[in-house]
A and B are shown apart, each in its own frame.
Chain A
């Protein structure tokens, strides 16, 4: 048995020192604590004794307290042994199990998204003939919030990207003396790819995240439950107006953004390739088929749906508190951008 004489009271930095000394001894032998001068009635000192007792039990040792004052003894006798629960370890899954689990969750998400898509399409296009249609509007407000307010940033970014890309191509084209073809290149690039895709990605970050955050915090604050108790269907009240607004806003924004991209291309062509405005315009008009514009509109509409539905779905899925809102928003942006790029790849096959 080894003896440690305790000080009169523990100073703040002492706890680690005394506890590690006690533990060190308990590992090898029984322990005697000498409390002749000890008179520390703080809750920290009580916790110290509890920790020592716990360690003694763990190592199967015996602790003897010698020469403690009667007051201190009474104090220590009052300390109760409390088991501290360990954090539950989650059921561990093997790699295959985890893969299967992720697969099933993905299937589940896709199923829900398809259900939301069919509901939204129904209430958007056929709902006016349905008796169960709810008398709530709100599309105009959503158009403003999700569409108009995003237009500045969309146009600015598409202009800058259009300008940069044109500039890069211009230096290549100029070496072959083919500067006048810039108009066709930029036009195709803008309407077929960059316009719809950039618009949708910017909207995913701006409007999609705001949809998720709003619906998720409504969910967390029981507002969606309240809607349901009033007989107001959350899909009709919350998703459909946003779906309608995005169906209108995204193609419009993407069309105008593509034009702005073309305008950026024109500036480059005019300044760096000496193409006249007329030539640029004619080049655009004669080489861009009407079908391309149509495809561009369809594409951006689908991108808008992807953003809206993923955003709404993530919002409805959020459970818990503030961290759930943050998580849902992150997942929404990541999934929508991935969805947009995936859909774009599919479209390029279909529209090849």
Chain B
């Protein structure tokens, strides 16, 4: 099976600073791929560069079996088949929730009559339990609701590939859990592949099929959840065991002499 997304030797950074040195991984159809790593290791940069929101320095990215040098713009067709959920939701504040969900539909399927569009929007909002916010503005919603509404927008066009930047960050455990289950349902029912950046260990253990662990701009481990749980690499061990790194290793005491 050809992978839906294939990243090869991606190199990225800004202003002379290289953040991703050489990152390669693949996402197979209906697979949930988690991107892991410590803060500041380039997870969000990786996502931004795959989606060409920042200009990569080099490498190759294939979407749906077609390869594009990372530096050429992504064609509309690929945009149409991918959905993106941003960390804060990134709903347009000047539009209502329904209008936000309508945006990608209007962009890629302008021929749809308004009645049909409304039905699609209602269906997506129902899926994320946000029907009550149909005519509300994003400023009237809580952080979790914004995120769910944004997920509805990302799903508007029935994408084959869904990118999520920390979907469960800042959500209460029940909402986070239901979001995970929703992603699993999407994967099982609609055969969507999902690429997720996340820190939530519970959520990773529930949904992860395969993961890439980044460290300082390079892939430390690319494997299944099982391989991760059994891995002996110290960084991955501390991550899955939720152990604090031993920060009191070299104690540097003050240079005092005590006398009585």
A: residues with CB less than 8 A from B are 49-50, 53, 56-57, 62-68, 73, 76-77, 79-82, 134-136, 214, 218, 221-223, 225-232
B92-130 interface (Cβ within 8 A of A) = 92-94, 103-104, 106-108, 110
Which chain A residue lies CB-closest to B250?
Answer: A80
Pairs A-B, 4 closest by C-beta atoms = A231-B79, A226-B90, A135-B110, A53-B254
Asked if residues B257 and A135 are in contact (CB atoms below 8 Å), the reply is: no
21 sampled A-B residue pairs with Cβ under 8 A:
A63-B255, A64-B256, A65-B257, A66-B259, A76-B256, A80-B252, A80-B253, A80-B254, A81-B254, A82-B252, A218-B93, A221-B93, A226-B84, A227-B103, A229-B53, A229-B82, A229-B163, A231-B79, A231-B104, A231-B107, A232-B104
B107→A81 contact, CB < 8 A = no
Question: How many B residues face the partner with a CB closer than 8 A?
Answer: 36
Check if B91 sits within 8 Å of A66, measured CB to CB: no
Collect the chain B residues with CB atoms within 8 Å of residue A226's CB.
84, 86, 90-92, 150
Interface of A is mostly: mixed
Q: Given A230-B79, A231-B107, do A225 and B256 touch, yes or no (CB 8 Å)?
A: no
Residue in B closest to A232 when the chains form the complex, CB atoms: B107
Pair B84/A229 contact, Cβ less than 8 Å: yes
B residues contacting A by CB (< 8 A) are 48, 51-53, 76, 79-80, 82, 84, 86-88, 90-94, 103-104, 106-108, 110, 150, 153, 163, 251-260
- Give the residues in chain A near B254, CB-CB below 8 Å: 49-50, 53, 76, 79-81
Q: Which residue of A lies closest to B259 (CB)?
A: A66
Q: How far does the Cβ of B93 sit from chain A's closest Cβ, in whole Å?
A: 7
**Complex interface: chain A residues within 8 A of B150 (CB):** 226
Q: A79-B253, A230-B103, A230-B104 are in contact. Are A73 and B90 (CB under 8 A)?
A: no
Instruction: Using A218-B92, A223-B91 as known contacts, say yes or no to A134 and B107 having CB atoms under 8 A apart.
Output: yes
Known pairs A76-B256, A231-B79; list 18 more (Cβ under 8 Å).
Answer: A50-B254, A53-B256, A56-B255, A65-B258, A81-B252, A218-B93, A221-B90, A223-B91, A225-B86, A226-B150, A227-B92, A228-B53, A229-B79, A230-B84, A230-B103, A231-B104, A232-B103, A232-B107
A64 partner residues in chain B, CB cutoff 8 A: 256-259
A5 to B53 CA separation, bound complex (whole angstroms): 63
User: Which of chain A's residues have a CB closer than 8 A to the CB of B86?
Assistant: 222, 225-226
Shortest Cβ gap from A150 to chain B (Å): 18
Query: Contact check: which of A67, A80, A228 meets B260 at CB < 8 Å?
Result: A67
Bound form: Cα–Cα A48–B32 in Å: 52
Assess whether B76 is in contact with A136, with CB atoms less than 8 Å apart: no
Judge whether A57 and B255 touch: CB under 8 Å.
yes
Cα A80 to Cα B251 with chains together (Å): 7
A223 and B255 form a contact (CB under 8 A): no
B87 contacts which chain A residues (CB < 8 A)?
222
Of A53, A214, A227, which is within 8 A of B255 by CB? Answer: A53
Assuming the contacts A135-B106, A135-B110, A231-B76, asked whether A225 and B255 have C-beta atoms less than 8 A apart, the reply is: no
CA distance A56 to B256 in the complex (A): 10
The answer to whether B106 touches A136 (Cβ under 8 A) is yes
